[in-house]
């Protein structure tokens, strides 16, 4: 199992794998906002305002880069002439494994004045990539929506909003200038939180000190923390 487990921990790991692509765009200076939404049916939508995953045809595969990212294991790397980097995720597997472990996954990419859409079912292409809209060339980003496969995640497919909030708050704090918005649309746990470095820095630092849970995605921040915290 490429995500380590099919328990609740593995279920939440699917979110981290997709969010990592937005984090990479933020670290490269191309994204400033990521939104994570728990839909009413417990599916997840992750949106970033980065450049958008490239859609050009790859010479090696003859397939769009978008399809390669979501169907080929260890496809993390640079795509397109602009050097778009697709994250390999925390376990080096990234979006392709999220796709494989999802009952359904659809992705929309906005770039170069067009909106591209592709749909998958249990890791396989359901609807090939196609243009679904024409928009301003100033618009760009990637939106991924997925439903975890209940045949794989038999223990639970219910997301814990506390786990999501804790992790995403830390990511916002550790990545300067990044804003992360978390929304839970489920009627039993309705919530919307807006995390950004400017607003959350002092609060989040206190949380990090107390819990000693460090998800260090930004090495420069790690050096700063080591200067002020007695880490053991």
Number of domains in the chain: 1
| Residues contacting 151, CB < 8 A, separation 6+ | 103
The verdict on residue 48 lying in a domain is: yes
pLDDT of residue 58: 87
Expressed as residue numbers, the domain containing 75 is 8-228
pLDDT of residue 227: 44
Report if residue 3 sits inside a domain.
no
Euclidean distance between CA atoms 79 and 86, whole angstroms: 8
Q: What is the pLDDT of residue 222?
A: 45
Query: Is 2 among the domain residues?
Result: no
For the chain, 232 residues long, give each residue's pLDDT as a single digit of tens.
456 789 999 999 999 999 999 999 999 999 999 999 999 999 999 999 999 999 999 888 899 999 999 998 766 555 655 556 655 554 445 899 999 999 999 999 999 999 999 999 999 999 999 999 999 999 999 999 999 999 999 999 999 999 999 999 999 988 989 999 999 999 999 999 999 865 555 555 555 555 544 444 444 444 444 444 444 4
Residue 1 included in any domain: no
- Residue 93 is predicted with a pLDDT of 57
Residue 165's CATH number = 3.30.565.10
């Amino acid at each position: 199992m490429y995500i380590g487990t099919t328990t609740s921990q593995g279920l939440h790991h699917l979110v981290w794998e997709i969010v990592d692509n937005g984090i990479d765009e933020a670290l490269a200076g191309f994204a400033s906002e990521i939104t994570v939404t728990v839909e009413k049916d417990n599916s997840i939508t992750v949106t970033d305002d980065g450049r958008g995953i490239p859609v050009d045809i790859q010479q090696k595969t003859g397939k769009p880069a978008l399809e390669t990212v979501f169907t080929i294991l260890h496809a993390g790397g640079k795509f397109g002439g602009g050097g778009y980097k697709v994250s390999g995720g925390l376990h080096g597997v990234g979006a392709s494994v999220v796709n494989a472990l999802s009952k359904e996954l659809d992705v929309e990419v906005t770039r170069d004045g067009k909106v591209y859409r592709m749909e998958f079912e249990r890791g396989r292409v359901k609807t090939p990539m196609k243009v679904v809209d024409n928009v301003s060339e100033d618009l760009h980003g990637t939106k991924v929506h997925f439903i975890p496969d209940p045949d794989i995640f038999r223990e639970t497919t219910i997301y814990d909003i506390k786990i999501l909030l804790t992790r995403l708050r830390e990511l916002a704090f550790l990545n300067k200038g990044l804003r992360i918005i978390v929304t839970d649309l489920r009627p039993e746990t309705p919530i919307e939180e807006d995390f950004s470095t400017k607003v959350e820095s002092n609060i989040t630092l206190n949380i990090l000190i107390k819990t000693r849970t460090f998800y260090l995605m930004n090495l420069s921040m790690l050096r700063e923390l080591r200067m002020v915290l007695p880490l053991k």
